[in-house]
Amino acid sequence: MTSTQPSASSPAPAPAPAPAPERSVLMDLMAFTPSATLGRELLALIANVALIGLLVLVIQPEPLVTAVMLGVVGLFMGVRLVVGFRTQGYARDLTGGR
């Protein structure tokens, strides 16, 4: 007779991790956490830098202010990209793994 209950000597299998909730591209642009895929993260990086560029064209701040704005956004997006490689598995996307 087979039982479906695990015996006391064998550990129960670990539950599968919950999938990340889907979020829109707009939320990928504004979120503090990395996107689900490398492509969406790169899209967010390019879009954020383009938005800062547009803001610079419209308000025409001093060059130092422009450099600080681009530096802050670039640093933030770079950290998001590194965190995404560590937690979201972006390296699998580069090697063709699924």
15-32 pLDDT, tens digit each: 655 555 678 888 888 888
Q: Write the pLDDT tens digit of every residue in 51-92.
A: 988 999 999 999 999 999 889 988 999 999 999 989 988 888
Largest CA distance in the chain: 80
Measure Cα distances from 4 to 1, 8, 12, 58, 74 in Å. Answer: 10, 12, 11, 67, 53
Task: Write the CB contacts of 53 (distance below 8 Å, at least 6 apart in sequence).
Answer: none
